[in-house]
């Protein structure tokens, strides 16, 4: 089987999300860097893969995909038969529905907040600007509301979708990894169950591997 291809550097959180799934299932894959400095992401070759000119894109033979969570679902389905990994729970209608629920929470509630903080703290200064502290503090307040819900859920269950690890948990790691290196990460100290869940998550070999790839690429 020819290795699947992931277009985009591991330093992008949306790329890292796909990579951790590939690592979890032990798939053979190739990372193809897209050079943003020469606007390769807006070139016709990349736009044919991802019409929004974003990363990641993904190729498996003739099939081209984009959107990190959709690619992650595809990867976890494709390689499911290869091992014990069952990160979508698709055999069980209730459990797979709860994976869908909490993956939408991550995508629509958690990730946008994390992304706003990341842009202000890392991207704005890198472009010579000054972070808007009010955007950061409003975002941290919104984050608290989400973490209140997570803490309650993780008091009832070991993982977000239930007592099983799933794509939901993995999907949180890339943005959270960057956030944990920022001064605002102290907010997590008020949430012991969330802290324990993150420690568990970051101890997974697949997550450790992708964290090392992110560090190498981030500059």
Q: Which residues bind its own copies (CB under 8 A)?
A: 51-52, 63, 65-67, 69-71, 73-74, 77-78, 93-94, 97-98, 100-101, 103-105, 107-109, 149, 152-153
Q: Is 93 exposed, middle or buried (0-12, 13-18, 19+ CB in 10 A)?
A: exposed
Minimal distance, residue 216 CB to its own copies, in Å: 27
Query: Exposure of 108 by Cβ count < 10 A (0-12 exposed, 13-18 middle, 19+ buried)?
Result: exposed
Pick the closer one to its own copies by CB: 31 or 167: 167
3-state DSSP call for residue 58?
A: strand
- Smaller CB distance to its own copies: residue 93 or 183? 93
Query: Min. distance of Cβ 74 from its own copies in angstroms?
Result: 4
Nearer Cβ to its own copies (10/75): 75
Beta bridge partners of 64: 59
Nearest distance from C-beta of residue 83 to its own copies, angstroms: 18
**How far apart (Å, rounded) are the C-alpha atoms in residues 214 and 111?**
18
The distance of closest approach from Cβ of residue 205 to its own copies in the complex, given in angstroms and rounded to an integer, is 26
Nearer to its own copies, 107 or 182 (CB): 107
- In angstroms, the CA 47 to CA 55 distance is 10
Q: Find out whether 7 and 55 touch, Cβ atoms under 8 Å.
A: yes
Q: Which is nearer to its own copies, 147 or 213 (CB)?
A: 147
Closest to its own copies by CB, 143 vs 213, is: 143
Count of beta carbons in the 10 Å neighbourhood of residue 105: 20
Least Å distance between CB 212 and its own copies? 27
Residue 155 Cβ, how far from its own copies at the closest point, in Å? Answer: 12
Beta strands 4-7 and 29-32: pairing type?
Answer: parallel
Strands of 28-177, DSSP E: 29-32, 57-60, 63-66
């Amino acid at each position: 089987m020819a290795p699947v291809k992931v277009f985009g550097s591991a330093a992008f959180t949306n790329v890292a999300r796909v990579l951790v799934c590939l690592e979890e299932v032990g798939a053979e894959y190739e990372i193809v860097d897209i050079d943003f400095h020469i606007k390769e992401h807006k070139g016709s070759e990349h736009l044919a893969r991802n019409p929004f000119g974003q990363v990641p894109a993904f190729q498996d033979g003739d099939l081209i995909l984009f959107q990190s969570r959709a690619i992650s679902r595809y990867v976890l389905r494709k390689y499911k038969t290869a091992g014990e990994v069952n990160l979508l729970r698709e055999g069980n209608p209730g459990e797979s529905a709860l994976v869908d629920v909490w993956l939408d929470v991550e995508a629509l509630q958690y990730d946008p907040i994390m992304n706003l903080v990341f842009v202000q703290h890392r991207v704005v200064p890198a472009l010579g600007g000054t972070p808007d502290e009010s955007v950061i503090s409003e975002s941290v307040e919104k984050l608290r509301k989400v973490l209140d819900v997570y803490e309650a859920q993780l008091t009832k269950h070991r993982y977000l979708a239930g007592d099983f690890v799933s794509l939901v948990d993995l999907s949180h790691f890339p943005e959270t990894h960057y956030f944990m290196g920022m001064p605002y990460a102290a907010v997590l100290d008020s949430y012991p169950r969330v802290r324990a869940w993150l420690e568990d998550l970051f101890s997974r070999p697949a997550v450790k591997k992708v964290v090392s790839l992110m560090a190498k690429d981030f500059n």
